[in-house]
């Protein structure tokens, strides 16, 4: 069964850092680009970042550029999102998704709350 | 950057047909994907590449594009179809995905 499982969310103060992980199973992880998508409370879906299957190319939304870093460990079938200098407006559920232009598999999400 | 416009809400009676639109400049030249998000759950892909239905998605779900509008059509609507629906495209100039604002489908 194809599955994605996020972890690493939590409560952090403004200016703090968190690292999210997304464990993949059921498919050849290194063959596929992956994306992070977030959803603020009561809001819609917002693309955050993407990384190619090999990890040699990344892209970021302007709202997180310079603060977030996406990476992957294909040997461990794991995707990461390092989030630094967090802001209140980064509060959201963060989803990882297998990205083939269409995001055909999603994790259940991990919640990040940025608050003092 | 590229903008996709969806109506905030659509209401439909059970058994009827719901149509959810997604507008964007030259959207007919892009591949449009649709997601269903039931409250409290992760999004699920229901239509890819304008018209393709992933395995496990009922035939009641279909997609189309015409001019500057893409449409998700849900036939014989059921109570379980009540959810938020999002359209998405890959914006080549910016090199990243773009989501519409979402449409809340209410089954009366």
pLDDT digits (tens, 9 = 90+) for A23-69: 999 999 999 999 999 999 999 999 999 999 999 999 999 999 999 99
A47/B contact by beta carbon, under 8 A: yes
For residues B21 and A33, what is the distance between their CA atoms, to the nearest angstrom? 28
CA angle B95, B104, A8 (to 5 degrees): 55
Whether residue B105 is predicted with pLDDT greater than 90 in this model: the reply is: yes
Q: Residue A50: closest CA among chain B residues belongs to which residue?
A: B96
For residues B49 and B56, what is the distance between their CA atoms, to the nearest angstrom? 16
Overall average pLDDT of the A12-26 stretch: 98
Tokens of B35: 């997601």
Calculate how close chain A gets to B102, using CA atoms only, in Å.
6
Q: What is the pLDDT of residues B31-60, one digit of tens each?
A: 999 999 999 999 999 999 999 999 999 999
A1/B contact by beta carbon, under 8 A: no
Q: Taking CB atoms and an 8 Å limit, are A44 and B84 in contact across chains?
A: yes
pLDDT value at residue A114? 98
Enumerate the residues of chain B whose CB falls inside 8 A of the CB of residue A104: 45, 48, 54
Question: Model confidence at B92, in pLDDT bands (50, 70, 90)?
Answer: confident
Burial class (CB in 10 A: 0-12, 13-18, 19+), A62: exposed
Enumerate the residues of chain A whose CB falls inside 8 A of the CB of residue B37: 45
Whether residue B1 is predicted with pLDDT greater than 90 in this model: the reply is: no
Of B42, B44, B102, the CB nearest to A44: B102
Enumerate the residues of chain B whose CB falls inside 8 A of the CB of residue A37: 43, 99
Strand duo A58-60 + A45-51: pairing: antiparallel
A50/B contact by beta carbon, under 8 A: yes
A41/B contact by beta carbon, under 8 A: no
Residue of B12, B29, B27, B4 lying closest to B73 (CA atoms): B12
Overall average pLDDT of the B70-85 stretch: 98
Burial B40-71 (b: 16+ CB within 10 A, else e): eebbbbbbbebeebeeebeeebbbebeeeebb
In sequence order, the 6+-apart residues with CB closer than 8 A to the CB of B45 are A102, A103, A104, B33, B34, B35, B54, B57
A56-60 own/partner pairs: CB under 8 Å, 24+ apart:
A59/B95, A59/B96
Question: Model confidence at B67, in pLDDT bands (50, 70, 90)?
Answer: confident
Contact by Cβ (8 Å): A94, A109: yes
């Amino acid at each position: 069964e194809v599955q994605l499982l996020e972890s690493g969310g939590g409560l952090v103060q403004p200016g703090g850092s968190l690292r999210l992980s997304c464990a993949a199973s059921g498919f050849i992880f290194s063959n596929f680009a992956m994306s992070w998508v977030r959803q603020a409370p009561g809001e819609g879906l917002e693309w955050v970042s993407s990384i190619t299957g090999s990890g040699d190319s990344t892209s970021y939304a302007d709202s997180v550029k310079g603060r977030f870093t996406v990476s992957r460990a294909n040997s461990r079938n794991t995707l990461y999102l390092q989030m630094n200098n967090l802001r209140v407006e980064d509060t959201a559920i963060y989803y990882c998704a297998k990205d083939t232009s269409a995001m055909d598999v999603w994790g259940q999400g991990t919640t990040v709350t940025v608050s003092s | 950057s590229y903008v996709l416009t969806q109506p905030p809400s659509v209401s439909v009676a059970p058994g009827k047909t719901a149509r959810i639109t997604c507008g964007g400049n030259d959207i007919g030249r892009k591949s449009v994907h649709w997601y269903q998000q039931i409250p409290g759950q992760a999004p699920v892909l229901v239509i890819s590449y304008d018209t393709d239905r992933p395995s496990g998605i009922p035939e009641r779900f279909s997609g189309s594009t015409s001019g500057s509008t893409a449409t998700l059509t849900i036939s014989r609507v059921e109570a379980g179809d009540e959810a938020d629906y999002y359209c998405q495209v890959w914006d080549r100039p910016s090199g990243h995905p773009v989501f519409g604002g979402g449409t809340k489908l209410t089954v009366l």
